[in-house]
A and B are shown apart, each in its own frame.
Chain A
Amino acid sequence: MVQTLINAISLGSIYALVALGIGLLFGVLKVINFAHGDFITIGAFALIIPSSQAAAEMGIGLMPWPLVIAGVAAVVVLTALAAEFLVFRPLRGADSATVMIASFALGYFLQSSLLLVFGSRPKSVNLWSQLNVPVVLGGAETSLLQIIIIAATALLIAGLGFLMRYTSVGLAMRAAAENFRMARLVGVRANLVIGAAIALSGILAAAVSLLIVVQTGVLSYRMGVPLMIFGFVATVIGGMGSLLGSAVGGFAVGIVSVLAQTFLPESARPFRDAVVFSVVFLVLMLRPKGLIGGGQRGERI
């Protein structure tokens, strides 16, 4: 039971990080960035030397761990900021549908670029495999990695909470998330707030990249897509526009997913995701604004 719980929280942590990354940018842009999953993929591929060879050769991934984290974060944040400059900024003032489609296009562009450089075959990599050792916690056997995933998520959420609550850029982001036009009318710089939001979502994406690569040991140019879908769903059921909602939604989706995997009869397990999405459907029928029904409406910019 404890083991199932740890599995659930650990998977929920990953989804919560993805959902927060999506939710942060949604807060200020009022648009879902469908390329967020591809930011995660970029972070994973940043570990290896660009090559279409089947065997992956570690690049950044060979460095001491603080440099690996910094390196991957830098690559993803730079990609995210480039996306802001080249894709989102020129579309300021365009309607949401246009920006959303542009984010899809950006996602496909990133995937195709990875395909071009690294090839289509999945690559196996070995990053920090020593973290996959079993540990016994509360009588249940789990892995050190799962504990680290949960701890890292807790740390990132606490850091994000601190930043939003106590720093001037966090305050500006909260004001902008509530009413972007008014925030600008009291002098909040639109580009600064959006830049900060996308950079932070890049940092969260980089964290997911690392955690996923350590857990699965596989790189594939579409690896971010399923994460994006679950993260998006988590953002929606949590309550669009609420960061707390994104985190809660992420944990909820992870927990339901693991419970379905554990308690469904063996023959029904391939339909685990269908169960998860049915629960999502049910939640939205009962609470259309999501679990944390913030759902602030704000001006598009």
Chain B
Amino acid sequence: MTLAIEHLEVSYGRLAAVRDATVTVASGEIVALVGPNGAGKSTTLLAAAGALQPRGGTITLDGASLLGLSPEQRVRRDLAMVPEGREIFRTLTVAENLTVAAGAGRAKPGTAEVMDELLALFPILRERLRQPAGQLSGGEQQQLAIARALMTRPRYLLIDEPSLGLAPLVVKRVYEMLTELRRRQGLAILVVEQSMRRVLSVADKVCVMRDGRVVATFAGEDLSDRRRLEQVYFGLAD
């Protein structure tokens, strides 16, 4: 049960954004993809979700290739994405944002239960159900974006910079929720962050990306070697 991105290459026209990225996420694992701005992290996530077509490499889910599948087909394979900037549907109400994802997901029966469960996890959303999503605060929008992705009942969640633009306390809450989701549902999470500090406490594995390449992967005891992690992050060591 693994999402495997191997030797991924993605270009925007002539510009190569991702040159060689290999990241694997096993069921129930939280993997962080970190790196400086422009390293190709978001592009890697978008390619995995099917929003960008890679030029090379493979993306497989439980051994089956995802290449050539549309984003909506990948959702039906239990892959969901929370993009950078949240991209909630601002003119739709909170309830509609959740329903549109439920209606589109593979498992229609039990939608009400899933929604109830998520609203218990994100109680603020229950209070705002009838409000246009555009009126929510940044933190609430981030929760809505995560809840919306979870409405599709994914086994794998791709989440891009969940802390962007949020107050530290809210960021803490978001990460607590992600850990809680992993614990409760065995959700596998691939999270992109610029800041390494934020993810170190939750991640089972950290992949460092620089100039379109995953240059190092840290897991287990290696994760406690902060000094080395920082050196790799800043390009001072390989």
Contacts and interface: CB of A to CB of B under 8 A. Distances in A.
A175 B88 CA distance: 9
Interface string B92-124: 100011011101111000000000000000000
B29 to A, nearest CB: 22
B90 A185 contact: no
B80 interface: yes
A233 B38 CA distance: 42
Contacts of A189: 72, 104
B216 to A, nearest CB: 29
Contacts of A188: 72, 100, 104
B152 A186 contact: yes
A178 interface: yes
Interface residues of B, number: 29
B70 interface: yes
Contacts of B59: none
Contacts of A178: 89-92
B182 interface: no
Interface in A79-132: none
A200 interface: no
Contacts of A175: 89, 92, 96-97, 100
Given A184-B51, A184-B72, A186-B152, A296 B91 contact: yes
Contacts of B49: 185
Given A171-B100, A187-B104, A179 B71 contact: no
A60 interface: no
Interface in B209-234: none
A186 B91 contact: no
Given A178-B92, A182-B87, A171 B72 contact: no
A182 B75 CA distance: 12
Max chain A CB contacts within 10 Å: which of B70, B87, B96?
A: B87
B76 A174 contact: no
B83 interface: yes
Contacts of B81: 185
B148 interface: yes
A186 B51 contact: no
B99 A171 contact: yes
A181 B70 CA distance: 11
Contact of A187 (B89, B91, B101): B101
Max chain B CB contacts within 10 Å: which of A172, A175, A181?
A: A175
Interface string A285-301: 00000000000100000
A175 B89 CA distance: 6
B75 A187 contact: yes
Contacts of A172: 100, 103-104
Interface in A258-295: none
A171 B70 contact: no
B185 to A, nearest CB: 18
Contacts of B99: 168, 171
A190 interface: yes
Contact of B76 (A168, A181, A183, A187): A187
Contacts of B101: 186-187
A124 B106 CA distance: 53
B191 interface: no
Contacts of A186: 75, 80, 100-101, 104-105, 148-149, 151-152
Contacts of A187: 72, 75-76, 101, 104-106, 152
Given A178-B91, A179-B89, A182-B89, A190 B103 contact: no
Q: Which 5 A-B pairs have the closest CB atoms?
A: A187-B104, A187-B75, A186-B101, A184-B71, A168-B103
Given A178-B91, A187-B72, 13 more contacts: A168-B99, A171-B103, A174-B91, A174-B96, A175-B100, A178-B90, A182-B83, A182-B89, A184-B70, A185-B49, A186-B104, A186-B148, A189-B104
16 contacts: A168-B103, A172-B100, A174-B89, A178-B90, A178-B92, A179-B89, A182-B83, A182-B87, A185-B49, A185-B71, A185-B80, A187-B72, A187-B101, A188-B100, A188-B104, A296-B91
Interface of B: 49-51, 70-72, 75-76, 80-81, 83, 87, 89-92, 96-97, 99-101, 103-106, 148-149, 151-152
Interface of A: 168, 171-172, 174-175, 178-179, 181-190, 296
